[in-house]
């Protein structure tokens, strides 16, 4: 059985990423969308493949340090638990629908250490980083030597954009 460690922080982005990566995984649970979404084989066609063991590691969004002044530690952990349950409800049934085994986990600590620990437990495993890239934020790598996903689009500093806008306005006023 193939073991895949899947790091996610957004269920919608992860479903889109999985549709490209693992064609047997449906994007939605209803039969109509599973057969019409490009890149998916549908639930019945997937039965010919070897089942997979997905270890879904949910990376909850970080809260700012300033929030600790207003929210207790137990309230933050309660919020992380609710976020994790919502992520499981959106992603785990899609993976189980094709007959794969799913083990959901909530990330805590360093992701590279967590990957090493999971590889020690489960043996050789493929690591998939399906976290949504964010502009201006460098995501922590999930495995030693692995590059995190690149930030999408334009990543220009605000000063450069401001100067460009100022030059455009000055050019319009001089005409």
pLDDT score recorded for residue 21: 74
The whole-number pLDDT of residue 84 equals 92
Angle at Cα 144 formed by Cα 142 and Cα 150, nearest 5°?
A: 50
Query: Please, are residues 57 and 108 in contact by the beta-carbon 8 Å criterion?
Result: no
pLDDT of residue 82: 93
Given this model, what pLDDT does residue 148 score?
A: 52
pLDDT of 46 reads 46
Strands of the 52-58 sheet, one edge to the other: 101-106, 52-58, 2-8, 126-130
| pLDDT, mean of each 10-residue run, the chain (175 residues) | 87 85 60 38 49 88 77 87 92 84 88 88 86 76 63 60 80 76
CA-CA-CA-CA torsion for 37, 54, 79, 81, nearest 10 degrees? 130
Integer Cα distance of 111 and 103 in angstroms: 17
What pLDDT sits at residue 42?
A: 40
């Amino acid at each position: 059985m193939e073991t895949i460690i899947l790091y996610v922080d957004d269920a919608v982005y992860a479903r889109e990423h999985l549709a490209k990566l693992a064609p047997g995984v449906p994007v939605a649970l209803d039969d109509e969308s599973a057969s019409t979404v490009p890149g998916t084989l549908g639930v019945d066609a997937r039965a010919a493949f070897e089942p997979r063991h997905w270890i879904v590691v949910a990376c909850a969004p970080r809260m700012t340090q300033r929030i600790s002044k207003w929210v207790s530690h137990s309230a933050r952990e309660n919020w992380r638990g609710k976020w994790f349950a919502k992520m499981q409800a959106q992603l785990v049934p899609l993976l189980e629908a094709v007959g794969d085994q799913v083990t959901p986990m909530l990330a805590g600590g360093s992701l590279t250490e967590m990957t090493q620990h999971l590889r020690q437990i489960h043996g050789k495993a493929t690591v998939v980083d399906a976290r949504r890239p964010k502009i201006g934020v460098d995501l922590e790598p999930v495995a030693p030597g692995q590059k995190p996903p690149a930030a999408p689009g334009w990543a220009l500093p605000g000063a450069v954009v401001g100067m460009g806008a100022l030059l455009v306005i000055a050019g319009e006023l001089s005409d």
